Amino acid sequence: MIVQWYPGHMTKAKKILQENMKMVDIVVELLDARIPISSQNPMLGELIGNKHKIIVLNKEDLANQNITKKWIENFKDNGIKAAAVDSLSKKGITHILSLIEQTPITDSVARRLNIKRPVRAMVVGIPNVGKSMFINTLVGRSTAKTGNKPGVTKGNQWIKIRANIQLLDTPGILWPKFDDEETGLHLAYVNSIGPKAFDVEDVVYSLTKFLAVNYPKALMVRYNLEELPVDPFKIIEQIGKVRGFLLRGGDVDLRQASETIIKDFRGGRLGRISLEAPEELRNSGGDEVQ
């Protein structure tokens, strides 16, 4: 495996998540729009019980728009409410609020007695998917505990978002889950597993290979390449050369070139790139789907 990662404190995180989840009617599962499959944690299904769920594809500004649209349709076809959002520009936030607003409350006592209370919601997701940013955007100010340590919410934990929506101020942290190479790589590309878990040159080799097949124009435009070598290794070398990343002996500094490529990808400087598409789009090149 290129990416090696072992979840620490998994049991504790799970317990805390379970505790916090008891208090809400709806769970907002935040996924990365570029990797809607790999950014899921299947354990959520077990934990969620009778709570409602909505899937939010965050960082939609970094993903291929048509592919994101297909994903939303795909989730809806499977009976799952889903929407896309860009937490930085707030695009899509109002729609998500109205979806949350429509949620019936799950508390059986309140339902039986016909007690009207606001819908209670919480946000969950793997590291770096944008939980803190999303919560801040929903709330309209900086509030979410930005740390990545799971915590039980205590004290004044509810934030009023609308007259009839309350949000738990701490997001639920899910750990990234992967047992196959591709999922591990995708999580590494989007920075959801720490740099210690992989070697950047190995990971960028795979990323470049994917980009050369699916988004060749993006690579050529960004790095002023007139043509793309077939071998991903040669592409990386070429990019290093163009950028003047040379080692003392004159060889290309492949590490620096690799770091540049992954940073550019993460920062959206290669354009809108989706790494995972629903079945029906799997074989079409991303440049064409734009």
Ligand X SMILES: Nc1nc2c(ncn2[C@@H]2O[C@H](COP(=O)(O)OP(=O)(O)O)[C@@H](O)[C@H]2O)c(=O)[nH]1
Concatenated DSSP letters of 135-169:
HHHHHTSS-S---SS-----SS-EEEEETTEEEES
Contact between 153 and ligand X per CB under 6 A: no
Q: Which is nearer to ligand X, 125 or 271 (CB)?
A: 125
**Segment holding 229, helix H or strand E:** none
Contact between 132 and Mg ion per CB under 5 A:
yes
Q: Which of 98, 102, 142, 146 binds ligand X (CB under 6 A)?
A: 146
Per CB under 6 A, does 61 bind ligand X?
Answer: yes
Query: Considering the complex, what minimum distance in angstroms separates the CB of residue 238 from ligand X?
Result: 27
Residue 71 · residue 33 · CB < 8 Å? yes
Q: Which residue's Cβ lies closest to Mg ion? A: 132
**Crossing angle for the helix pair 131-139 and 93-101, nearest 10 degrees?**
80
Q: In the block, which residue shows the tokens 């939609």? A: 60
Q: Does 146 bind Mg ion (CB under 5 A)?
A: yes
Question: Residue 96 and residue 94: Cα distance in Å, rounded?
Answer: 5
**Least distance in Å: CB of 273 to ligand X?**
12
Q: Closer to ligand X by CB, 92 or 232: give it.
A: 92
Out of ligand X, Mg ion, none, what residue 58 binds, judged by CB under 5 to 8 A for its kind, is ligand X
Please state the φ and ψ torsions of residue 80, each to the nearest 5 degrees.
-110, 130
Residue 228: alpha-carbon gap to chain centroid? 29
Choosing from 62, 67, 219, 277, the residue that interacts with ligand X (CB under 6 A) is 62
Residues in touch with ligand X (CB under 6 A) = 58-59, 61-62, 86-88, 125, 127-133, 146, 148, 268
